[in-house]
Amino acid sequence: MANVIETSSVFKAYGEQIVSKNISIAVAEGSIYGLLGPNGAGKTTLIRMLATITQPDRGEIRFMGEPLREKHSQKMGYMPEERGLYKKMTVADQLLFFAELRGFSKKDAQTAVKKWLHRMDMMEWAKKKVEEISKGMAQKVQFVSCVLHNPQLLILDEPFSGFDPVNADLIKDLILEQRNAGHSIIFSTHRMDNVESLCDRLGIIHNGEKVLDGTVSEIRRSHFKGAFELGYHNPVFFPTHLIQTSQMRETNDGKFTYTIQTNSAFSPQDLLQEGMKAGELIHFSELIPSIHDIFVETVAQAKLESNESVSIPPSKLIAP
């Protein structure tokens, strides 16, 4: 599968502050790429370079195999973290203006805007000025302005910020619709649940450096540390020489759940056999770490390696 956009050793600095340190990422056609990182990590700088707002000092960005140029922005939809709407314009006029900027005729612009206002359940707000609507409603206007011209690539900086759960789910559905239609999406977020449910691939940036990159399943599987969860109706005993650690908790419905860290030479099949010997086994599963756990551990490790003060303790990578 070809890449719609890719960076190769992209470097960017403002004065003495380096904000992108030789970052290389690739976003495949028809895929969703999640860009994660703590505040100030360099996500927005990278996104602005992808959107042709700024240029790298060194390295290369390619769009559909060509060196990235301003002309390619016509095939993109960019939603900045700092939303840019004209407060004195009505919602409909705002979207008509953006559509015509993208080359729509007046008639085609009106058709596209009407379709999207219906899709977003915003027809009753069409004649309201932007300054008269809520922040969440303005967010929806901003999102529509990015997608109404059917872009090949959507670049979204914190697209879920300011949305209530209902509208956040609507935006998630629209992002998936774009992906299913063959478009590509790259977005930054602090909401790890959206990363796991939406992304095909993700990258974590810390202090301007990419510290992790891969598919969601690859990353989660690579961080699996041999932890399992077993459930019983009654307390049981496990031979201590077969496991490293074991924690037991009683659930609200009166069952007993054991979180077990196995020895490296002890296979899941071995644990399952021992678990069945111990009692009436009603639940058995691997505890594969969440993207949230992996993010916390990765950033904490990166801080340690760069001699920063670590305020977030590394995760034990055992799901609750």
d(C-alpha 164, C-alpha 106), whole Å = 33
The CATH number for 97's domain is: 3.40.50.300
| pLDDT at 301 exceeding the cut of 90 | no
Whether 182 and 122 map to the same domain: the answer is yes
**Which of 295, 282, 292 has the alpha carbon at shortest distance from 229?**
282
Whether 89 and 156 map to the same domain: the answer is yes
Q: Residue 300 domain-assigned?
A: no
Q: Residue 18 domain-assigned?
A: yes
Whether 127 and 259 map to the same domain: the answer is no
Q: Residue 294 domain-assigned?
A: no
| pLDDT at 287 exceeding the cut of 80 | yes
What is the mean pLDDT of the segment spanning 47-72? 96
Q: Residue 182 domain-assigned?
A: yes
Kindly report, residue by residue over 129-155, the tens digit of the pLDDT: 999 998 888 999 999 999 999 999 999
| pLDDT at 78 exceeding the cut of 50 | yes
Residue % of the chain over a pLDDT of 90: 65
The boundaries of the domain holding residue 271 are 225-286
Whether 243 and 211 map to the same domain: the answer is no
Whether 232 and 161 map to the same domain: the answer is no
Whether 59 and 82 map to the same domain: the answer is yes
Which helix (H) or strand (E) segment holds residue 19: the answer is: strand 17-23
| pLDDT at 241 exceeding the cut of 80 | no
Whether 38 and 172 map to the same domain: the answer is yes
| pLDDT at 68 exceeding the cut of 80 | yes
| DSSP 8-state class, residue 75 | G
Q: Residue 146 domain-assigned?
A: yes
pLDDT, residue 314, reads: 44
The CATH number for 261's domain is: 3.30.70
d(C-alpha 260, C-alpha 245), whole Å = 6
Which helix (H) or strand (E) segment holds residue 107: the answer is: helix 106-119
Whether 69 and 180 map to the same domain: the answer is yes
Whether 121 and 260 map to the same domain: the answer is no
Range scoring the smallest mean pLDDT among 241-250, 264-273, 311-320: 311-320
Q: Residue 302 domain-assigned?
A: no
Strands 153-157 and 184-188 come out as parallel
318 or 260, which is more confident? 260
308 or 134, which is more confident? 134
What is the mean pLDDT of the segment spanning 261-273? 80
d(C-alpha 187, C-alpha 319), whole Å = 26
pLDDT, residue 310, reads: 44
pLDDT, residue 213, reads: 95
Kindly report, residue by residue over 154-204, the tens digit of the pLDDT: 999 999 888 889 999 999 999 999 999 999 999 998 888 889 899 999 999
**Cβ atoms 188, 43 nearer than 8 A:** yes
Angle, CA of 116, 118 and 119, to the nearest 5°: 60
Whether 198 and 110 map to the same domain: the answer is yes
| pLDDT at 105 exceeding the cut of 90 | yes
pLDDT, residue 85, reads: 85
Q: What pTM was estimated for this model as a whole? A: 0.85
Boundary-marking domain end, from 220, 255, 277: 220
Q: Residue 192 domain-assigned?
A: yes
pLDDT, residue 307, reads: 67
pLDDT, residue 217, reads: 92
d(C-alpha 257, C-alpha 251), whole Å = 7
Q: Residue 37 domain-assigned?
A: yes
Whether 192 and 234 map to the same domain: the answer is no
| DSSP 8-state class, residue 289 | P
Whether 242 and 205 map to the same domain: the answer is no
Count of the separate structural domains present in the chain: 2
Alpha carbon distances (Å) from 307 to 72, 301, 302, 303: 40, 10, 9, 6
Residues forming a β-bridge with 88 = none
